[in-house]
Amino acid sequence: MTNGYMKKKKSPKERFLLVIGILFFLVYLFMGLAIIFYDKLPLGMEYKYRVALGSLLIVYAFIRFVRLLKSENTQDE
Protein backbone atom coordinates (compact mmCIF):
# COMPACT_ATOMS: atom_id res chain seq x y z
CA MET A 1 0.00 0.00 0.00
CA THR A 2 2.92 2.38 0.48
CA ASN A 3 4.43 2.01 -3.00
CA GLY A 4 3.75 5.53 -4.21
CA TYR A 5 0.21 6.00 -2.99
CA MET A 6 1.24 7.71 0.23
CA LYS A 7 2.18 11.32 -0.42
CA LYS A 8 4.71 13.08 1.74
CA LYS A 9 3.16 15.91 3.71
CA LYS A 10 4.30 19.34 2.62
CA SER A 11 6.03 21.60 5.07
CA PRO A 12 4.38 24.95 5.87
CA LYS A 13 7.01 26.68 3.71
CA GLU A 14 6.21 24.44 0.72
CA ARG A 15 2.47 24.99 1.16
CA PHE A 16 2.98 28.76 1.43
CA LEU A 17 5.08 28.83 -1.75
CA LEU A 18 2.47 26.74 -3.55
CA VAL A 19 -0.33 29.12 -2.53
CA ILE A 20 1.74 32.17 -3.52
CA GLY A 21 2.58 30.55 -6.87
CA ILE A 22 -1.08 29.85 -7.61
CA LEU A 23 -2.05 33.35 -6.47
CA PHE A 24 0.44 35.03 -8.81
CA PHE A 25 -0.64 32.76 -11.68
CA LEU A 26 -4.19 34.02 -11.18
CA VAL A 27 -3.02 37.65 -10.82
CA TYR A 28 -1.09 37.58 -14.12
CA LEU A 29 -3.94 35.76 -15.87
CA PHE A 30 -6.51 38.28 -14.61
CA MET A 31 -4.29 41.24 -15.52
CA GLY A 32 -3.84 39.92 -19.05
CA LEU A 33 -7.55 39.37 -19.52
CA ALA A 34 -8.39 42.77 -18.00
CA ILE A 35 -5.98 44.58 -20.30
CA ILE A 36 -7.49 42.88 -23.34
CA PHE A 37 -11.21 43.03 -22.51
CA TYR A 38 -11.75 45.86 -20.00
CA ASP A 39 -12.13 48.95 -22.19
CA LYS A 40 -12.40 51.44 -19.32
CA LEU A 41 -8.89 50.64 -18.10
CA PRO A 42 -6.99 53.95 -18.44
CA LEU A 43 -4.18 52.83 -20.74
CA GLY A 44 -3.18 55.11 -23.56
CA MET A 45 -2.61 52.26 -26.00
CA GLU A 46 -4.10 51.18 -29.27
CA TYR A 47 -6.19 48.03 -29.15
CA LYS A 48 -3.61 45.89 -30.97
CA TYR A 49 -0.96 46.81 -28.37
CA ARG A 50 -3.39 46.06 -25.54
CA VAL A 51 -3.99 42.61 -27.04
CA ALA A 52 -0.24 42.07 -27.41
CA LEU A 53 0.48 43.07 -23.80
CA GLY A 54 -2.45 41.07 -22.47
CA SER A 55 -1.40 38.01 -24.46
CA LEU A 56 2.15 38.34 -23.19
CA LEU A 57 0.92 38.42 -19.59
CA ILE A 58 -1.30 35.38 -20.16
CA VAL A 59 1.56 33.41 -21.71
CA TYR A 60 3.81 34.42 -18.81
CA ALA A 61 1.14 33.26 -16.35
CA PHE A 62 1.02 29.83 -17.96
CA ILE A 63 4.82 29.58 -18.02
CA ARG A 64 4.86 30.30 -14.28
CA PHE A 65 2.12 27.71 -13.72
CA VAL A 66 3.98 25.01 -15.67
CA ARG A 67 7.17 25.75 -13.73
CA LEU A 68 5.20 25.53 -10.49
CA LEU A 69 3.81 22.12 -11.48
CA LYS A 70 7.26 20.86 -12.46
CA SER A 71 8.77 22.01 -9.18
CA GLU A 72 5.97 20.29 -7.25
CA ASN A 73 6.60 17.03 -9.12
CA THR A 74 10.34 17.10 -8.41
CA GLN A 75 9.74 17.78 -4.71
CA ASP A 76 7.41 14.79 -4.45
CA GLU A 77 10.08 12.38 -5.69
pLDDT in tens, 58-75: 999 999 999 988 887 776
> pTM for this structure?
0.74
- Residue 18's SS3 state is helix
Does residue 59 belong to any structural domain of this protein? yes
**Residue 28 included in any domain:** yes
Indicate whether 11 belongs to any domain: no
pLDDT at 1: 47
User: What range does the domain containing 55 cover?
Assistant: 22-76
Q: Considering the domain boundaries, does residue 12 fall inside one?
A: no
pLDDT (0 to 100) of residue 73: 72
Residue 26 located in a structural domain: yes
Domain count, the chain: 1
- Dump pLDDT digits (tens) for 4-48: 545 667 788 888 888 898 999 999 999 999 999 888 878 788 889
